């Protein structure tokens, strides 16, 4: 029987299906990736499946931000209390923040452009990929998913949309940090007071320094789940089309001209 799977003979592949997820090349807008790196360092690289670099920048952001009290300064700036914002910021940590912050934006933009070039070359080579993986721990395969469903699950709990798409690395990373941020921000306690109508008590309970991380986490989880569901569906259609062509379209269709047309 003919083998239609990845045989490691191509120079470039569009995707790789493994136990922990489906990693793929596809065209991205470098400005959008750079914007996510601007919103939260590391998110742009996670969009590109550059997990180690993205996680390193994410952890750097958490450590420097909390020690420099950047989020507290942002809260005071929103309230118009600029003097308090200046007092709360720790300049010793703040000076370490800016160079790496701008590096994350620049590097994600540069990497996106390079990966777009690789995507075009891989599409021209059009080599088959492995579409099914089974192991004692996990099963992963290409299939169609609903982008809206993935986004809704990420809205209900960041990381669930990634689990729906079998993006185990991103899902685990988001879920772990969602638990940490929820705990230190006292989100559950504050929401409990809000449901009871005690808004004043809720504002006292919330830790604003940790709470300000949540909008970025929620927004990224929803965007990542939706966009990856769309691209996974495109990859599934491309793989099915190539398989059907190679397996069943074996002969060229020859149409003989009629005598009347001679």
Show me where the domains of the chain are located: 15-238
Task: Give pLDDT, residue 242.
Answer: 85
Task: For residue 18, give the nearest of 92, 173, 129, 106 by alpha carbon.
Answer: 129
Say which residues have a Cβ less than 8 Å from residue 110's Cβ, sequence separation at least 6.
none
Overall average pLDDT of the 136-149 stretch:
91
- Look-up of token digits 């604003």: 208
Region 84-100: mean pLDDT is: 86
Express each pLDDT in 148-164 by its tens digit. Answer: 999 999 999 999 999 99
**pLDDT at residue 250 in the model:** 63
Cβ atoms of 169 and 228 within 8 Å: the answer is no
* Backbone CA torsion sign across 40, 41, 47, 49: negative
Assess contact for 17 and 142: CB atoms under 8 A: yes
Q: pLDDT at position 2, please?
A: 43
pLDDT band at 182 (very low <50, low <70, confident <90, very high): very high
Average pLDDT, integer, range 185-212: 87
Mean pLDDT, rounded, for 200-221: 90
For residues 210 and 181, the answer to whether their CB atoms sit within 8 Å is: yes
- In angstroms, the Cα distances linking 172 to 24, 94, 129, 178, 211 are 19, 29, 25, 10, 20
- Longest C-alpha distance within the chain, in Å? 93
Query: Which tokens belong to 71?
Result: 């989020």
The pTM for the full model equals 0.87
Lowest mean pLDDT among 35-39, 44-48, 75-79: 75-79
């Amino acid at each position: 029987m003919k083998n239609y799977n990845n045989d490691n003979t191509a120079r470039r592949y569009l995707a790789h299906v493994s136990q922990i997820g489906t990693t793929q090349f596809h065209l991205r807008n470098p400005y959008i990736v750079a914007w996510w790196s601007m919103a939260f360092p590391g998110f742009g690289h996670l969009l590109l499946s550059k997990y180690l670099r993205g996680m390193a920048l994410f952890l750097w952001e958490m450590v420097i931000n909390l020690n420099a009290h950047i989020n507290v300064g942002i809260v005071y700036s929103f309230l118009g209390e600029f003097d308090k914002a200046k007092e709360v910021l720790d300049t010793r940590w703040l000076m370490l923040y800016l160079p790496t912050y701008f590096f994350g934006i620049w590097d994600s933009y540069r990497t996106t452009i390079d990966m777009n070039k690789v995507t075009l070359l891989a599409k021209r080579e059009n080599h088959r990929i492995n579409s099914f993986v089974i192991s004692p721990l996990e099963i992963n395969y290409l299939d169609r998913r609903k982008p809206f469903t993935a986004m809704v699950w990420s809205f209900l709990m960041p990381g669930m949309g990634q689990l729906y798409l079998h993006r185990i690395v991103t899902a685990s990373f988001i879920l772990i940090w969602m638990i940490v941020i929820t705990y230190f921000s006292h989100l559950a306690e504050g929401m409990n007071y809000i449901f009871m109508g005690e808004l004043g008590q809720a504002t006292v309970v919330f830790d604003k320094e940790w709470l300000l991380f949540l909008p970025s986490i929620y927004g990224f989880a929803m965007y990542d789940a939706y966009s990856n569901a769309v691209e996974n569906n495109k990859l599934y259609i491309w793989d099915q089309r190539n398989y059907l062509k190679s397996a069943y379209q074996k002969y060229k269709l020859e149409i003989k001209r009629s005598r009347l047309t001679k």
